[in-house]
Amino acid sequence: MAKIVINQDRCKGCLLCVSFCPKGLIKKSAKLNKKGLNFVEFDLNGECIGCMQCAIICPDCCIEVYK
Ligand code: SF4
Ligand code: SF4
């Protein structure tokens, strides 16, 4: 199964990836990163299909997809 890795310190919490994931696997965290922003987290229990929509849409290149 595919998975993604999010660079949480680079993430600015714009939530674009949350909107674009067709499986709803990315969620806003209640925690803050080094910039003081709410980053996003990946649901490791979900079924990522490796579609790369999240990585493509992220304006800050925070997401890597592993198939
Ligand atoms: S690769 Fe696709 S399914 Fe997996 S987290 Fe990103 S948008 Fe969601
Ligand atoms: S699109 Fe990128 S910067 Fe925006 S919330 Fe997702 S990982 Fe963070």
**pTM as predicted:** 0.95
Q: What is the CATH number of the domain that holds 36?
A: 3.30.70.20
Minimum CA distance residue for ligand 1 atom 4: 48
Which residue range is the domain that position 23 belongs to? 3-66
At 33 the pLDDT is: 98
At 28 the pLDDT is: 98
Rg, C-alpha atoms of the chain: 11
Minimum CA distance residue for ligand 2 atom 4: 14
Q: How far apart are CA 57 and CA 54, in angstroms?
A: 5
Q: The tokens of 16 are what?
A: 């674009």
| 37 CA to centre of ligand 2 in angstroms | 11
At 5 the pLDDT is: 98
Which residues surround ligand 1 with Cβ inside 6 Å? 2, 4, 20-23, 25-26, 48-54, 65
Domain count for the chain, please give it.
1
Confidence of residue 52 (pLDDT cuts 50, 70, 90): very high
Confidence of residue 24 (pLDDT cuts 50, 70, 90): very high
